[in-house]
Amino acid sequence: MVFLWLTGMGGVGKTRLALEVARKAAELFPDSVVFVALAPLSDPALVVPTVVRSLGLEETKGKTPGEVLVAHLREKEFLLVLDNFEHVLDAAPEVAALIESCVRLTVLCTSRAPLRVRGEQEYSIQPLVLPASTLSPDVEEVLSSSAGRPFVERARAASPTFEVTERNARAVRRSADASPGCR
């Protein structure tokens, strides 16, 4: 059982990172990888039924959604990604119980705050860093900053001839600053 928690402020890239982890780790989980978006939920009681539906399972009479989920996942090597858990933090005990019942289950959650439950491994995602100079960053500062590099990569994907120059470095820095997850 593994319970990983990606925490950080809104817009820092937790969801994107979780999706990339799920994509790259898929071969390690022969029974499946499932991503469940929790942002639309406001009631923690809906978390487990939402996971049940996301897995294509049917709730049965005489069994709670949690029991249906445990019965399905108990022996599976499975990655369950729960995104935006900050909306339903009170569902943490149910997720912790699921993990304890399903020893080969790995749960990766994203949230603005950790759960503080037993077994949780928190990884805090920090914002990308911008060049120190806001008025006249030089080209190298922009290209070497953790926020500038991905901005330039996206710009080049849209326009392969894009280059950071002394003339546009300030505008690139301002544009990177406006991107979510930058400070």
The average pLDDT across 27-37 equals 95
Q: Quote the CA–CA distance of 119 and 105 in Å, as a whole number.
A: 13
Two structure tokens written together for 32? 């499946």
Residue pair 1/118 in contact (Cβ under 8 Å)? The answer is: no
pLDDT at 148: 77
In tens, the pLDDT along 56-88 reads 998 888 999 999 999 999 999 999 999 999 989
Q: Quote the CA–CA distance of 183 and 40 in Å, as a whole number.
A: 27
pLDDT at 149: 78
pLDDT at 121: 80
Banded model confidence at residue 1, pLDDT cuts 50, 70, 90: low
The CATH number assigned to the domain with range 2-124 reads 3.40.50.300
Residue with tokens 């950071």: 164
Q: Quote the CA–CA distance of 122 and 113 in Å, as a whole number.
A: 10
pLDDT at 180: 56
The average pLDDT across 35-42 equals 95
pLDDT at 178: 61
The average pLDDT across 16-21 equals 92
Domain with CATH 3.40.50.300 in the chain: 2-124
H or E segment and range at residue 13: none
Residue with tokens 């959604």: 65
pLDDT at 52: 96
